[in-house]
Structure 1
Amino acid sequence: MEMQTLALGFFAAIAVGGLAWVFLYPMLSGETKVEKRLTSVARTTPAVRQVDRAQRSRREQIEGSLKEIEARSERQKKLPLGARLSQAGLDWTPAKFGVVSAFLGLTVFGIAAIFGAGLLAAAGLGFAAGFGLPRWILGFLKRRRERKFLAALPDAVDIIVRGIKAGLPLFDSIKVVAADSPEPLRSEFNAIIETQAIGMPLGEACARLYERMPVPEANFFGIVVAIQQKSGGNLSEALSNLSKVLRDRKKMSEKIQAMSMEAKASAAIIGSLPPIVMLLVYLSTPDYISLLWTHPTGRILLAISAMWMSAGIFVMKKMINFDF
């Protein structure tokens, strides 16, 4: 009887232990949590893959946009004359520019020959006036137009940001900027509107702003709009950050200009001192210094001096101008 009771108790203990092993051990050991976690991961794997795929697609679009912008930047280094005239704000044709340059060169050559300059000196002056001076003026007009554009661009971006936050589409906000902004910002944004009106996507039309106004700030604006049009995102926040970057760059540029003014003043004094001394000597004793342009050796020395002065001014200009 006792053996039977012990046997029943033993088998009952084994049964209870087996049930505990089956039901309680997975809970205590964490296997249930692992299985639930694996099940949830298996269920969410398609969603995760879809998110990864979307992120990868957006990254590929951004990389493609940046590559296109880099290609445009490389093309900016080899612009034809017509594009440079447009960037300077002139409506001249290349043929008209060539005719004006040739007329200017021939005029200076004739004046130099009339006043007794040698053939070689007159040809050099004519070449400088016909080839170098018009292109220098073209570069000066281009830089002045770019400065005006950069001065008005941060305010224009702020207007676009406020318009987007108020519920206006990006295209209507650009119309507001084109209507109220000063030149050359007005004409550049009107060009964006006209380009978009003929069927070009707005992102690509804004990205082409850099081709007409080759400054980094215009490139930044085109990048932000082009990426947002392709990949989505909060455009008002992106443009607000761009406005802050533009203003910080402007402050940095003004700070660099202020810090380099002493060096620029020194370079201006050093560069203008020889011509001023030459003029004063001519006013006091003209016979003494007139040998520089009446005697052949003096002409050679004057040409060499002008060449070395030009090289010195060029070196000083490179030392005091900073690009960032």
Structure 2
Amino acid sequence: MNMQALALAFMATVAVGGLAWVFLYPQLSGEKKAEERRSSIARPEPKIRSADRAQRSKRDQVETSLKEVEARNKEKSKVPLGIRITQAGLDWSEQKFLVISGILGLFAFAMTVMFGGGLLAGAGLAFAAGFGLPRWVLGFLKKRREDAFLKALPDAVDVVVRGIKAGLPLFDSLKVVAADAPEPLRSEFNAIIETQTIGMPLGEACARLYERMPLPEANFFGIVIAIQQKSGGNLSEALGNLSKVLRDRKKMKEKIQAMSMEAKASAGIIGSLPPIVMLLVYMSTPDYISLLWTHETGRLMLAGCVVWMSCGIFVMKKMINFDF
């Protein structure tokens, strides 16, 4: 018996030592860093022409500026309700939005109490319908509007670049975009033209585009125009680089969506299985599963299941959402 214990202890010691040798020794001895340094020195650099290097450097600068603008925008405070309504493309006032939200909340509360749901459930559904649902709709409309804007923005920038290269003034090039571009790009460029018509400088009018369309691409477009109006420079080249960066970001976003679709489908199936199974069991044997909401312990178990399912869905959502 003692020999067996000694043999097991020896085998466990050898296994732990082997794992430590494989995983920890390269980190502690510096062998991995030395190998990476040798590889970086021995790796041949590709031959790049000076023109291509300069073009790539300019595009990298534009993309770096976009990332910096996006990082600063995330640090800003909460957007007021009136601006969020404007960003969603609605012409409602704050009072109208609040009145509609209150009506939805009262309707949900009345329907819940009418069907015997109780005051607590009615208050919860009223909060969800009067506070959560309208703001979710605002976020959905805002996201859809931003996607449509980003889809048409590269073509609009190319139109401006071609107009400038053909000799047209910047204001006339913006008029061409406002006349032919799809919504919401048409409305945003018309707002720029109208703002400039009443006396505001064109650079400042373009810079205010970000207030209605809170995107780093829109902010960078306004910054480029504002800097060119103040200090001059090759505007067509700067906007051309911006157009290339926008198209590259669009390709990267679509590639990420295609690569993550399998994970999103798996997450959707896993997240929908518990309620589907619960519904099927209730349809077949309702007395068996009704203990979850009729018994005190069952209610506690059901609440715990909802909490853990919410945590799992949140973790899966974080795992399959990629920033670039």
What TM bracket, shorter-length normalisation? Answer: 0.7 to 0.9
Matches within 5 A, 1:56-205: 73=73, 77-205=77-205
User: Structure 1 residue 296: deviation in Å?
Assistant: 4.7
User: Structure 1 residue 197: deviation in Å?
Assistant: 0.9
2:275 alignment partner in structure 1: 275
User: Structure 1 residue 217: deviation in Å?
Assistant: 1.1
User: Structure 1 residue 186: deviation in Å?
Assistant: 0.5
| 2:129 counterpart letter in structure 1 | A
Change (3 A) 1:149 1:88: same
User: Structure 1 residue 120: deviation in Å?
Assistant: 2.0
What are the superposed Cα offsets for residues 166-224 of structure 1, whole Å, 9 maximum, x if unpaired? Answer: 11100110011011011100001111111111111111111111111011111121121
Q: TM-score, normalised by structure 1?
A: 0.74
Q: State how far apart, in whole Å, the 2-side matches of 1:76 and 1:142 are.
A: 18
Change (3 A) 1:308 1:94: farther
Q: State how far apart, in whole Å, the 2-side matches of 1:226 and 1:233 are.
A: 11
More displaced, 266-275 or 303-312?
303-312
What are the superposed Cα offsets for residues 257-291 of structure 1, whole Å, 9 maximum, x if unpaired? Answer: 11111221111111111111111112212232233
1:228 alignment partner in structure 2: 228
Change (3 A) 1:183 1:209: same
Q: Is the 8 A contact 2:86 2:212 kept in 1?
A: yes
Which structure is larger by alpha-carbon Rg, 1 or 2? 1
1:312 alignment partner in structure 2: 312
SS in 2 for 1:182: coil
User: Structure 1 residue 295: deviation in Å?
Assistant: 4.0
- Unaligned 5+ runs, structure 1: 1-65
What are the superposed Cα offsets for residues 210-269 of structure 1, whole Å, 9 maximum, x if unpaired? Answer: 111011111121121111111111111111111101101101111111111122111111
1:27 alignment partner in structure 2: none
Q: State how far apart, in whole Å, the 2-side matches of 1:210 and 1:264 are.
A: 31
More displaced, 95-104 or 115-124?
115-124
Change (3 A) 1:106 1:84: same
Change (3 A) 1:195 1:155: same
Q: TM-score, normalised by structure 2?
A: 0.74
Q: State how far apart, in whole Å, the 2-side matches of 1:70 and 1:319 are.
A: 21
Change (3 A) 1:239 1:320: same
1:322 alignment partner in structure 2: 322
1:245 alignment partner in structure 2: 245
Q: Is the 8 A contact 2:70 2:216 kept in 1?
A: no
SS in 2 for 1:174: helix
| 1:97 counterpart letter in structure 2 | F
User: Structure 1 residue 119: deviation in Å?
Assistant: 2.5
What are the superposed Cα offsets for residues 124-174 of structure 1, whole Å, 9 maximum, x if unpaired? Answer: 222112111111111111101100000000000001011111111001100
| 1:191 counterpart letter in structure 2 | A
Change (3 A) 1:75 1:323: closer
How many pairs does the alignment contain? Answer: 258
Q: Is the 8 A contact 1:208 1:222 kept in 2?
A: yes
Q: Give the share of equivalent positions with the same residue, in percent.
A: 80
Q: Is the 8 A contact 1:76 1:211 kept in 2?
A: no
